[in-house]
Chain A
């Protein structure tokens, strides 16, 4: 912000806080008043002193005159005494002898002026000489019985001369004192005049100072506050503020804050404008969406590149046109108005349907119209976003067909499996049935026929279990297996498994241990399939454990799963065989285990079943023997494979 230059002298004043300025403005006239009072006091003091001086001058004149009077009276008395010898004529002389020292002493103290003192010092010997002359005249008269008239005359003459000298000196003193007096009276007049002038000037200065102070204080602040008010008004209107001098008092700080607020607002406004501009540019350049605006009546007011691409009109061709021309004839009459009304009422309206391009061709569009309102909620217009969905519609159609085909294929697969099962079982029924009838009637046959019959029956049964397992696996893999997921309490279920499998384990000559979990547990699984898996595992353990003494069935928890453990203390499984453990028809070590019956599908089927129920079947190395872990979920969940035939057995 630009700051006008402020004079340094004014700057100091401007930076002071308002309270300081107030105190100064009030104190200035008070100080002037006080000053004039002090000068008034000093002036009156000086006048008093001048008047004292005048009074003292009068006293000096009076005393000087008294000296002359005393001496003149004393001289006249002495003259009379000498002539008459009468004592009463000595009275003035004696009075003069008594008063003169005091009067002279007073004069000595009172005289300050150097000129007067000079005359007084001249007077002092003359007075002393006169007194001496009067005393010697009296002595002369007393001592000589007869006094020659010449002597008397001489003495009188001498006295007369002395008195004249005294008078002349006193006149000098009085004259000098009169000059001093005049000067002092003049001084008193000057002091009085000066005092009056000072008083007038003080009053004038005090008045003026007060006026200036109040003017400075009030007009300065008022002017600045009113400028501040102007700026506040500008801020409210969003205009640029006029620059105010940077001052450190409250008003200055207020002005600065206002300035900062304005700068902040301006910066935000700039940001907003920039972001609006960016947004506008982005919108304009969007190609995949037609984005444009309508006024309140549905007339197009802006048009972006995407709209041009989708609909075919250039901005110049379409601006100012009503947007209903984007609709095909059959909906043009009601749908545009209906969309605007919905947008007006609900804030936005969405529609998916046919729209028309400039060239008249149709496209499948997804349209969202949003009402644009100002901050007080008045409708300003609408924003419309159009997407060309033709492509997506086509791909959705393709997807739907593909899905239908997949479902059909899946159904065909299920049907094929079901037919295969049926077609294999039907002839096997005759083979096994007749085989069984022959076995029942075996005493009617020769020994070698009996053996043949036994072989037929055994091979037939083996074939049946092969078919069962194979179809099971295929059906699980085809997703055609129906699972009846239900909550199963683990403890009683384990009891059942133990009871069910005990004869198998016992016939292998092994001990069968059951270890229940510590806590009551529940699994969500298909009971029949779970049983199938566990029996298969126990059957394997019993079959292949030729060296150990026991088979162990246990259950514990593993995160959200229950883990069933079937282990034995037999020879276990060689590490090299582990990769093929769950492979169909891969009976490990077949040559050595020729005596062991089995289809080679058991583990593969069991694992498929476990996985189809959302669980897992794995082999875990065990220090002694083989160990299989079969996990099932403790929570109800969707089975891993979808149902293909629409039946909803898994819930």
Chain B
């Protein structure tokens, strides 16, 4: 693994919100994140609480499923986008079993920063998560300067 620009402890201390209606997948994500060493993890299986949790918890990264009952991932993407100010960089990683090109395009167009198809490789997902968080930290540093 290459040297990171950001200390890994700083990455691991960041807040991560995972939203997936499937218990088993939430459990898997929590497992992966905990194994990586993340401490601030919030998991949701009811997407209706997505926006309020997003606002309250103020995550640094969101792991988002697309196909969910009541409120789907696209709606949440739009809601998050509306909530955040334009100069905010708060990465959303879409994890979905919908492999169609349309879903991929739509999610990325609505502001998702990355897209991974299920079933995913746990190591790959871990790496993408840390990369996105690193980018966010760098972005924040740049803004505070």
Q: Is B138 an interface residue (CB 8 A)?
A: no
B24 / chain A contacts, CB cutoff of 8 Å: 427, 429-430
Q: Residue of A at shortest CB range from B99? A: A421
The answer to whether A464 has its CB under 8 Å from any CB of chain B is yes
Contact of B119 among A423, A425, A482 (CB under 8 A): A425
Task: Determine if A432 is an interface residue (Cβ-Cβ < 8 Å).
Answer: yes
Check B99–A426 contact: CB distance below 8 A: no
Report if A635 contacts B (CB, 8 A). no
The minimal Cβ–Cβ distance linking B11 to chain A, given in whole angstroms, is 20
A421 neighbours in B (Cβ, 8 Å): 97-99
Give the interface centre of A423, A427, A647 by most chain B CB atoms within 10 Å. A427
Q: Name which of A405-413, A433-441, A448-456, A563-571 contacts chain B.
A: A433-441
Query: In whole angstroms, what is the CA distance A205 to B31 when docked?
Result: 151
Q: Which single residue of chain A is at the shortest CB-CB distance from B97?
A: A425
Could you tell me the distance between the alpha carbons of A605 and B99 in the complex, rounded to whole angstroms?
Answer: 18
Give the residue name and chain of the A residue nearest to B95 (CB).
Answer: A429
Closest to B117 in A: A425
Closest to A645 in B: B102
Task: Assess whether A436 is in contact with B101, with CB atoms less than 8 Å apart.
Answer: no
Nearest residue, chain A, Cβ from B98:
A422
Q: Which residues of A contact B121 (CB under 8 A)?
A: 436
Interface residues of B in 115-140 (CB under 8 A from A): 117-123
Report if A428 contacts B (CB, 8 A). Answer: yes
Question: Judging by beta carbons under 8 Å apart, are A437 and B31 in contact?
Answer: yes
* Beta-carbon contacts under 8 Å, A366-396 to B: none
A434 touches B119 (CB 8 A): no
**Measured between alpha carbons, how far is A418 from B25 in the docked complex, in Å?**
19
Q: Given A436-B121, A464-B119, A647-B102, are A429 and B97 neighbors across the interface (CB < 8 Å)?
A: yes
By a CB distance below 8 angstroms, the chain B residues around A437 are: 28, 31-32, 35, 122
A-facing residues in B27-71 (Cβ within 8 Å): 27-28, 31-32, 35, 67
Task: Judge if B2 is at the interface, Cβ distance under 8 Å.
Answer: no
Set of chain A residues within 8 Å of B96, measured between Cβ atoms: 422
Chain B residue at minimum C-beta to C-beta distance from A424:
B97
Question: Of residues 610 to 651 in A, which have CB atoms within 8 Å of B's CB atoms?
Answer: 647
| B100 interfacial by beta-carbon distance below 8 Å | yes
B31–A426 CB distance below 8 A: no
Q: How far is the CB of A430 from chain B (nearest CB, A)?
A: 4
Is B97 in contact with A426, judged by CB distance below 8 angstroms? yes
- What CA separation (Å) do A432 and B119 show in the bound complex? 7
Closest chain-A Cβ to B93's Cβ sits at a distance in Å of: 14
Most interface-central of B28, B31, B102 (chain A CB within 10 A): B28
CA distance A440 to B27 in the complex (A): 17
The answer on a CB contact under 8 Å between A482 and B31 is no
Residues of A within 8 A of B120 (CB): 429, 433
Residues of A within 8 A of B118 (CB): 425-426, 428-429
Residue B22 is within 8 A (CB to CB) of chain A in the complex: yes
Shortest C-beta distance, A178 to chain B (Å), equals 160
A457 to chain B, nearest CB (A): 11
- A440: chain B residues within 8 A (beta carbon): 35, 122-123
Q: What residue of chain B has the Cβ atom nearest to residue A418's Cβ?
A: B100
Contacts of B67 in A (CB 8 A): 422
User: Which residues from A are CB-within-8-Å of B27?
Assistant: 430
- Residues in chain A near residue B102, CB distance under 8 A: 647
Chain A: which residue is nearest B96 at the CB level? A422
Chain A residues near B28 (CB-CB < 8 A): 429-430, 433-434, 437
In contact, B101 and A482 (Cβ under 8 angstroms): yes
B67 nearest CB neighbor, chain A only: A422
- A selection of 8 A-B contacts at a CB cut-off of 8 Å is A422-B97, A425-B99, A425-B118, A433-B28, A436-B122, A436-B123, A437-B31, A460-B119
The list of the 6 closest CB pairs from A to B, nearest first, reads A425-B97, A430-B24, A429-B118, A429-B119, A433-B28, A432-B119
Interface residues in chain A, defined as those with a beta carbon under 8 Å from any beta carbon in chain B = 418, 421-434, 436-437, 440, 460, 464, 482, 647
Beyond the given A430-B25, A440-B35, A440-B122, please list 11 additional residue pairs across the A-B interface where CB-CB is below 8 A.
A421-B98, A421-B99, A425-B99, A426-B25, A430-B22, A430-B27, A433-B120, A434-B28, A436-B122, A437-B28, A437-B122
